[in-house]
Chain A
Amino acid sequence: MDLLDNYKKAWDNQPEDAHKVSSLEIYKMAQSKSSSIVKWIFIIGIAEFVGLNSLYFFIDMGEAMKEYEKLGIENFVFYSQIAAYIILFYFLAKFYQNYKRISVTASTNTLMKKILKTRKTVRNYVIFNLGYMVLIIMVVSIASINMNFEELNTKQLLLIVLSTLIATLLILGLLWLFYQLLYGILLRKLNRNYKELAKLDSTI
């Protein structure tokens, strides 16, 4: 008899695994995928925050502040930035909370709700960032128009307004693309998970 035949008998008689996985546990397995995606949303959020803020090391803030002072909006810039940072921290905390909560979810139904919530948080975050950008551009351009109002004729005024609008749209578009790239892929994956979960949920 072949050497392996001996072992084969032992193989055939090996006991079944003690841990039988029920069909109910399958959705828990799909769930960990969602939690890792949400974890990435959190990590990218932090990286983006750190990355954008480190830009200040390269920009001469004193010079920029002088410009704002000339326009008479230094108070607005100062307070709006404080507000923006508070809101940004709020979003980072939210991202973290989403990640923590999704890791300990026990049922498909609550998991689905949490996926939807995460999507909403990300959407609000992007809307906030874009909105803040628009607000700053608007305030700066209105302030500079105000300052030079006396010297400008209607044609020049119109030109300035038009070019500001176009520049704003362009910046918005670029930012939107940036966020699509950053979060869009993760959100799509999350959405796919959501659909799979929804299917599973209807069968159990």
Chain B
Amino acid sequence: MQKDLETKFLSDFEQNQNIAHKICRVYTTNQSAHNDLFQEITIQLWKNYPKFRGDSKFSTWMYRVALNTAISLYRKSTKTIKTEDISEIAYKIKATDYDNTEEVQLKALYKAIHKLNDIDKALIFLYLEDKPYKEISETLGISSVNARVKMNRAKDKLKNILKP
């Protein structure tokens, strides 16, 4: 039984790893930081998996663990992560099979997100991922009302940065 559970974790994680990659893109601006965060998220997910009882979807649980890992790690190393350092974000986004205007938009979006604080990053990320407020509040451990208020503020900040 235990063995089945672990195989399941590995396959679930493999399928949902893009969630972790997107979070890494939101919180880091270069490849090595991306890999470090990805690794830390992997370790945290693996460590916490025994506590995951399957009362929510794996992906929901993964959002929560991964985002909290990113936030706590980001807090520890605010000095090492420079928000201006966006030149390397291009490393991720490939032009092939991909609309050029959207590529430009996506880069601008990441650039703007990198200027937000750690919590606002999480809020905007969850908004972009179409998460309902109930899930957002559970993921970040705040009340639904609070999530709404904070979300509106975060969106305003983002819009201000994105404004031409």
Contact = CB atoms under 8 A, between A and B. Distances in A.
B90 interface: no
Interface in B82-113: 92-94, 97-99, 102-103, 105-106, 108-109
B10 interface: yes
Contacts of A7: 105-106, 108-109, 162
Interface string B101-144: 01101101100000000000000000110000000000000000
Q: On chain A, which size bracket covers the interface?
A: 20 to 34
Contact of B10 (A10, A12, A203): A203
A50 to B, nearest CB: 29
A22 B11 CA distance: 9
Contacts of B27: none
Contact of A21 (B17, B97, B105, B155): B17
B99 A4 contact: no
Interface of B: 2-3, 6-7, 10-11, 13-14, 17-18, 21-22, 25, 38-39, 42-43, 46, 92-94, 97-99, 102-103, 105-106, 108-109, 127-128, 155, 158-159, 162-163
23 contacts: A4-B127, A4-B162, A9-B105, A10-B102, A10-B106, A10-B109, A11-B106, A14-B93, A14-B106, A15-B93, A16-B21, A17-B18, A17-B25, A19-B21, A21-B42, A26-B42, A29-B39, A29-B42, A30-B46, A199-B6, A200-B6, A203-B10, A204-B10
